[in-house]
Structure 1
């Protein structure tokens, strides 16, 4: 794989989407790498919702994979017609205007004297275009499940992944860097360490000296799947179902129904549910739980929803249900830190986002494509690469975080400030 027999490997912490797409760049450039993943196997964290791929995300993936492999990836993606969300009142099943439901939610916040949240939500709504276009290529909304995408990006990388290795810190040397694992052992010496290990990244905190923060919005969600036959009453499109009359707080769900599979009960579509802070709580606040505990809460919250949307939850595959915390990085943008030439960060480790707008994964693959291109063009690490990457990344990632947070205020009514809890 290596360009020279003595070239040190690129060390990558985490085996998520951003890390694996970076590895694909290194594979094509024949630059050696090693990936360290805290999970014990791929199947340990197989659950995942469907990701919408933007034009920027698809362009980034295509630039890494090349024409032939990207065509295989493209064929794996689902394509849905329509340019934006179709909004539904979850209780009545009636079509609604998306902006009007958000306006009603803002008014409800005002009535409940949640002034700060209402002001933030109103400001975010006024800065958004009238319709939220989701199409990326050919007028289609392109999506793929997180698990399928991760499996595809893993092709060819399997032998370089070290499972059950949690990176806790790093140690610089005169000519390289070591990853230090949670048990105190070290990796082989690498030429650079790239942290792609998500919101709990210890490397990100060490590198930025605590400047990189991930805030807990307090909002929670549940991912789930159901046979495609449960989606037939909805039909093709991207649907947002909103329940503003739940006494606990606002609940909504999003799903992408693509054509061609709705008569096949062996195929499943996914959905994502989210709610205001305090509405969804995992037993004992354990959000690693999957299966029945998450499924039970999703079913309870939708018990009086309209039949054409209720079926998505009542007929779910219970084993696939999973909780998730809704977090966000500092909305003002990716902070500055002292550049370290041999260590950098990608994906959620540097810019965690809410699910609003579906921006997070698309921004993460842009990181992978950019850093991968810089390393590939240089044949490995040379002076200035991490600085050049971080300067460009800060621009588009800061814009993405601000946009995601702004949309989340109109959907969840959450507010983040310097006094908010971090994770």
Structure 2
């Protein structure tokens, strides 16, 4: 089996297939696992926790769980004066983890299966197998090809050319602040919402707190050196604590937020998708990493099943499509309400692929 992409979903899938008799080869376009920033804190709820526990070796899972941070299970929205506007108690289990630590954990037992510097340019599907073609002229052949290559998926572009990924109209600035600056805001997520949908997001991990700022893309310049001063201008008159956090902000980078547009189920073949390659979404719902891990665990179970391969893949895809696109819609609704995200465009859900 060929997996394109060594992000969270692709590595979780490789872990889930260890010892099942399924041969796995993972191909990653980056030259190494540390060549670019992947973001900071991730939230895992029941769905992601169960999926991660199911794919990791027991001792690896125990070590990861012991090092993870457990926030209070609630979402809190405040105004710029830090008065509480709404609170939601989620219940259940929640972990706040560092993305790189999670990726390192997922890589530890499967690093020998990953080849770096392999950018997919096309695939060729024939009876009984699929061949991946890379930009260095090499190829790889397997009985299944999995696109775990993120929001810009090369696999999706060829496999589902009618599937769209669109901008949300928002840019989010991600960074860190010292943990002690936000100790009393130790929730799953705290959002400080101001005029014109300008939003500060705060969440703690074991070692630091993430601090994000989102606004309409047209309000934020592309020049990184201007971002901090502009955020200070946009938060003029906000509570002094927020202003102080901005002065402590470090390792800041901008990200244009994008989302998939839901489509109808497609015919199942030996090419499939997982995670953001299938259903990228606004971060407003905090569901992306959880769904990628759930997809990986579900696909691992399907590939190790005893039914005919296409039947197993079809069962996996129906669940992945239904729950993935439901989360896309829910995240878009939350993104519109809290962040000022553009409405989700109409898709092609009434036009299934036949």
Q: Which has the higher strand share?
A: 2
Residue matched to 1:20: 11
TM-score scaled by length of structure 2: 0.89
1:305–1:199 Cα change, 3 Å: same
Alpha-carbon distance between aligned partners in 2 of 1:292 and 1:71, rounded to the nearest angstrom: 41
1:236 aligns with 186
SS of the aligned residue for 1:165 comes to coil
Report the structure number with the largest CA radius of gyration: 1
Q: 1:30 Cα shift? A: 4.3
**TM alignment of 1:292-371, pairs within 5 A:** 292=225, 295=228, 297-302=230-235, 304-317=237-250, 320-330=251-261, 333-340=262-269, 342-371=270-299
The 8 Å contact of residues 279 and 328 in structure 2, kept in 1 or not, is answered as yes
Shift of 1:253: 1.6
Any residues of structure 2 matched to 1:24-423 within 5 Å, and which?
24-81=15-72, 83-90=73-80, 92=81, 94-98=82-86, 131-137=87-93, 141-183=94-136, 185-208=137-160, 210-232=161-183, 234-237=184-187, 238-244=189-195, 249-257=196-204, 267-283=207-223, 292=225, 295=228, 297-302=230-235, 304-317=237-250, 320-330=251-261, 333-340=262-269, 342-378=270-306, 382-413=309-340, 414-418=342-346
Aligned partners of 1:47 and 1:322 also within 8 Å: no
Shift of 1:197: 0.5
* Deviation readout 1:394-415 (Å, 9 max, x if unpaired): 2211211111111111023322
Q: 1:417 Cα deviation (Å)?
A: 2.0
8 Å contact kept, 2:221–2:227: no
Residue of structure 2 equivalent to 1:287: none
Following superposition, the deviation at residue 256 of structure 1 comes to 1.7
Distance 1:74 1:203, change over 3 A: same
Q: Which runs of 5+ in 1 are unaligned?
A: 1-9, 99-130, 262-266, 284-290
Query: Matched residues in 1 for 2:168 and 2:66: separation?
Result: 36
- In structure 1, how many angstroms separate the alpha carbons of the residues matched to 2:145 and 2:229? 41
Give the 3 Å change call, closer, same or farther, for CA 24–207 of structure 1 in structure 2. same
Paired residues, what number? Answer: 345
Report the Cα offset of residue 135 of structure 1.
Answer: 4.1
Structure 1 residues 21 and 300 mapped into 2: Cα distance closer, same or farther (>3 Å)? farther
Report the 3-state secondary structure (helix = DSSP H, G, I; strand = E; otherwise coil) of the residue aligned with 1:45.
coil
Q: Identify the range of structure 1 (67-76 vs 363-372) with the bigger mean alpha-carbon deviation.
A: 67-76
Q: How far apart, CA to CA, are the structure 1 residues paired with 2:309 and 2:193?
A: 51
After superposition, give the CA deviation of every residue in 1:1-59 in whole Å (9 maximum; x if it has no partner).
Answer: xxxxxxxxx11111111111001012242422111111121112234131111111111
- Asked if 2 retains the 8 angstrom alpha-carbon contact of 1:172 and 1:178, the reply is yes
Deviation at 1:143, TM superposition (A): 1.1
1:281 Cα deviation (Å)?
A: 3.6
Q: 1:293 to 1:194 in 2, by over 3 A?
A: farther
Mapped partners of 1:251, 1:97: distance in 2: 15
Change (3 A) 1:394 1:88: same
CA deviations over 1:80-122 (Å, ceiling 9, x no partner): 12x32222223x2x31313xxxxxxxxxxxxxxxxxxxxxxxx
In the alignment, is the contact (CA less than 8 A) between 2:16 and 2:55 conserved in 1?
A: yes
Distance in 2 (CA, whole Å) between partners of 1:67 and 1:75 is 12
Task: State the TM-score, normalized to the length of structure 1.
Answer: 0.75
Unaligned runs of 5+ residues in structure 2 are 348-354
Post-superposition, which runs of at least 4 consecutive aligned residues in structure 1 deviate over 6 A?
none
